[in-house]
Structure 1
Amino acid sequence: MIISRTPLRVSFCGGGTDLPNFYRKYGGAVLSMSIARYVYLSMHAYFHGDGFILKYSQLETPESRDAIQHRIIREVFSTHGIEGVDFNSSADVPSGTGLGSSSAFTVGLLNLCNAYLGRYVGRADLAAQACDVEIDRLGEPIGKQDQYGCAIGGLNFIEFHPDDSVTYEAVPLTHAQRRTLEDNLVMLYLGGQRSASAILQTQAGAIDSGGSVIDDLKAMAAQAAALRGDLIHDIDCLGPYLDEGWQRKRRISAGISAPHIDDAYARALAAGATGGKLLGAGGSGFLLFYCPNGTRDAVIDALRPYAPYDVRLDMIGTTIIYSD
């Protein structure tokens, strides 16, 4: 039995600049934080030998790899030669809620399969392989931030270069700074699940059309770089950065926000939050807020009945938590 655990992520600044049709021309950057909410995957030899039993949001019992319906599982099992296994997936939060769960699944699956075969692959290489699976092989119209944000762990400044390379640098925080950051952040679940692909496809079309969208995305990449430096001196600067980035992101595509999202955002700021954003591509899922000076409880009260969730750093990244 092998079990992998892969964190989900929240992105503070720069979302959208990781799309290939943007960073290949202008370069992109995000500030991303792995969080202590996880995707767990397990695998062991199938009792009946041949075939598979695959348990995720659906149950599959295919007799061959080619018959697997789940595209990511089929692709990764095929490239790694996985045969005759019992596979199970579970997660702390639902998919399609803006926390990068699809890429966390891919990263965790690659880690799981390599461990099952007795191989070690580093976290950055797992992220690169996940990008290859999702973007290059399966043609998903997504960016690269989720794969790296979920694989490497911690709080990171991640850059996407025109030559398709990706580099990252950890943002150093003291214990006191980390505690302030975690204590002042809150996620509120607005409900709903969506596929990021459709919204990101619209954003990619907006990038191709040029104009003000390009200017906004350039500013968002620059904002991520600026926040990397400012955050280590003043954690409370995060709120205004989040607000500026959210206002820019709303202009990129009409599908990113909605009236109930705008209403919740306004109520949170009136209760003391200094900034926030909708996590993920947009449309539904989690709102993230920075709530300094003891305003976190007031923000939660103002947004009832939306359920609040703590935001805690994961410093490890994807890992194998059990092997026997």
Structure 2
Amino acid sequence: MIITRTPLRISFAGGGSDLKEYYLNHGGSVLSVAINKYIYLSMHPYFHGNKYLLKYSQNELVDNVDDIKHRIIKQVFKDYNISGVDFNSSADIPSGTGLGSSSSFAAGLTTLCSTYNNNFMSLEDIAKYACEVEIDKLKEPIGKQDQYACAIGGLNFIKFNQDDTVAVEKVILKQEKIKQLEDNLLLFYLGTTRSASEILIEQKKNTIKDQEKVNSLHKMVALSVDLKRELQKGNIDAMGDILHSGWMYKKELAAKISNERIDHYYNIGIKNGATGGKLLGAGGGGFLLFYVKEEHQQNVKNAMKDLEEIEFKFNFEGTKVIHYNR
């Protein structure tokens, strides 16, 4: 049996500039971090010959790879010529909550299948292939940031170049600054999951046709550069203002990114001491992230008592094999 563990991610600034419709024309950048919430995938030879037994949010038992309903599994299994396996998936956080779960799954499955075939891939190659699967082969209306954030792990400034290449720069902080950043980030679950596709499709169209939306993305990219600079200077508290500015710009990109409920809880967080925050993911639901200095954290937590708080730390390992027994 082989078991992989792949982190989910939090995106701080620049989200949306990883869409091809934007970065091929302007170049994009995102600053994000992987966290210690994971997707676990396991696989071993199946007892019944060349059948496929798949257990994720659904159960599948099929004779042929083309009969697999899960699109990512089907594509990666075909690419890696995987057959006769018992496959299992589990996760710490529900999918559709803005933490990059589909791309974490794709990166983890790539790690799993390459290891199963006794091949070694670098973390960058895993991320690149996961992008090819989701964006090029399956035509999902998503960007590239999640695959790289989840595959590589750590705190990264990720550039999306106009020649379609990706460059990952580690943001190096002293340990006490990492702890300060971890401790001052509060994450609350809104209790809803959503499909990002509809929002992203609208956002992609706006990126092509609406210059005001493009200008908002320009400002969001600039914020990611500002955030990298401020963090490297040790100015961790700059995170709050940059998160807030980015969230204001992001809400301009598509109609359903926010709603009355999201705005209600966001405003509560700000009124009770958060210096900034944002909704994670494409929009519409999932997790609210706030930057809150220590002296105001209890006020924010009390004000958010209707929502579930999720505690987390950063992950610096990326996708990895945690069990190997052939």
TM-score bin, normalised by smaller chain? over 0.9
Structure 1 position 194, deviation (Å): 1.0
Structure 1 position 311, deviation (Å): 2.9
Distance 2:258 2:312 in 1: 22
Partner of 1:248: 249
3-state DSSP class of the match of 1:251? coil
- Residue identity in the other structure for 1:203: Q
Partner of 1:183: 183
Partner of 2:237: 236
TM-score (norm 2): 0.98
Distance 1:120 1:319 in 2: 11
Query: Bigger CA drift: 218-227 or 97-106?
Result: 218-227
Alpha-carbon RMSD across the aligned residues, in angstroms, is: 0.7
Alignment of 1:148 with 2:145, yes or no, is: no
Partner of 2:23: 23
Aligned pair count reads 324
Structure 1 residues 87-109: Cα deviation after superposition (integer angstroms, max 9, x where no partner): 00000000000000000000000
Q: Residues 185 and 310 of structure 1 are in contact (CA less than 8 Å); yes or no, is this contact kept in structure 2? A: no
Distance 1:297 1:91 in 2: 29
Distance 1:51 1:293 in 2: 54
Give the ranges of 4+ consecutive aligned residues of structure 1 lying more than 6 Å apart after TM superposition: none
- Residue identity in the other structure for 2:250: K
Structure 1 position 209, deviation (Å): 1.0
Q: State how 1:136-175 maps to structure 2 within 5 Å.
A: 136-175=136-175
Structure 1 residues 149-176: Cα deviation after superposition (integer angstroms, max 9, x where no partner): 1010100000001111000101011110
Distance 1:199 1:255 in 2: 6
- Residue identity in the other structure for 2:308: A
Partner of 2:7: 7
Distance 2:175 2:296 in 1: 21
Distance 1:198 1:214 in 2: 19
Q: Residues 159 and 166 of structure 1 are in contact (CA less than 8 Å); yes or no, is this contact kept in structure 2? A: yes
- Residue identity in the other structure for 1:13: A
Alignment of 1:277 with 2:278, yes or no, is: yes
3-state DSSP class of the match of 1:126? helix
Alignment of 1:290 with 2:297, yes or no, is: no
Partner of 2:93: 93
Partner of 2:56: 56
Distance 2:61 2:177 in 1: 48
- Residue identity in the other structure for 1:299: V
Structure 1 position 142, deviation (Å): 0.5
Partner of 1:213: 213
Partner of 1:318: 319
Structure 1 position 210, deviation (Å): 2.6
Structure 1 residues 26-54: Cα deviation after superposition (integer angstroms, max 9, x where no partner): 00000010000000000000011220100
3-state DSSP class of the match of 1:149? helix
Segments of structure 2 that go 5 or more residues without pairing to the other structure are: none
Partner of 2:258: 257
TM-score (norm 1): 0.99
Q: Residues 97 and 286 of structure 1 are in contact (CA less than 8 Å); yes or no, is this contact kept in structure 2? A: yes
Q: Residues 43 and 112 of structure 1 are in contact (CA less than 8 Å); yes or no, is this contact kept in structure 2? A: yes
Q: Percent identical across equivalent pairs?
A: 50
Structure 1 position 297, deviation (Å): 2.1
Structure 1 position 294, deviation (Å): 2.4
3-state DSSP class of the match of 1:120? coil
3-state DSSP class of the match of 1:82? coil
